[in-house]
Amino acid sequence: MTFQEYQEEARKTAIYPNLGTNFIYPTLGLVGEAGEVAEKIKKVIRDDNYQISDEKRIEIVKEVGDVLWYIANLSAELGISLEDVANKNLEKLKSRQQRNELKGSGDNR
């Protein structure tokens, strides 16, 4: 499946107020789902000594999938293809790597 295919299919399942003009809803959903991923990882650290069981891995995959869904729909709300998001991100990282700027902080390094 391509990013475009995923984004199109994810969009078909999007049901929220003001679909097509509401970037706030998927932004809040993204933050919530990312928090759920973090919670599951935290509990692996706390309860399982960093060992991810097959069962926990499946749970985490589901939450990461929810993150992807919200990213796809936020991008759609902003009129950006998921493929463009992925390409721009890799371009940024490759540029930082070439300039030896992967470490550090700040968006424009």
The Cα–Cα gap between 33 and 55 comes to 19
For the stretch 21-74, pLDDT in tens is 999 999 999 999 999 999 999 999 999 999 999 999 999 999 999 999 999 999
The Cα–Cα gap between 52 and 74 comes to 30
Residue 85 structure tokens: 């998001």
Q: How far apart are the first and last CA of the chain?
A: 33
Which domains, from first to last, does the chain contain? 3-81 (1.10.287)
Confidence of residue 108 (pLDDT cuts 50, 70, 90): confident
More confident residue, 101 or 22: 22
- pTM for this one? 0.90
pLDDT on residue 95: 93
Residue 52 structure tokens: 């991810």
Average pLDDT score over the chain: 95
pLDDT (mean) for 4-17 = 98
